[in-house]
Amino acid sequence: DVKVTQSSRYLVKRTGEKVFLECVQDMDHENMFWYRQDPGLGLRLIYFSYDVKMKEKGDIPEGYSVSREKKERFSLILESASTNQTSMYLCASSFFGGSGNTIYFGEGSWLTVV
């Protein structure tokens, strides 16, 4: 069974803390994505990566960075968390060159910044 695993389902962090959200996939996918989901705004792409050490900005990259040192792992980093980053974060992965129907999602990480 295919699997995208987000290590933390629920986190509470303080303003100014550095936050790491980890995502691991076991399908040997080239592409990995981080989305942010907010009520009324849908899913918005933060960053994606199509290969190890490669990354591209999505629609809302400000305040975030990413790391992909290994093919199976894609980390989202909040260098200095702020309250407006309270949200649900979804990781996803897919094969490079697919037709979009092979994108698999994790179960989400709820982040609250206080």
Which residues contact another protein (rule: CB under 8 A)?
31, 33, 35, 40-45, 48, 50, 58, 88, 90, 92, 94, 96, 99-101, 103, 105, 107-108
Question: What is the b/e burial string over 100-109, where b = at least 16 CB atoms within 10 angstroms of the residue's CB?
Answer: eeeeeebebb
Cβ at position 91, least distance to another protein in Å: 11
Nearer to another protein, 42 or 84 (CB): 42
User: What is the C-alpha separation between 79 and 26, in angstroms, rounded?
Assistant: 27
Q: Minimal distance in Å, beta carbon 16 to another protein? A: 27
Q: What is the Cα–Cα distance from 22 to 49, expressed in whole angstroms?
A: 14
Nearest CB to another protein, comparing residues 43 and 77:
43
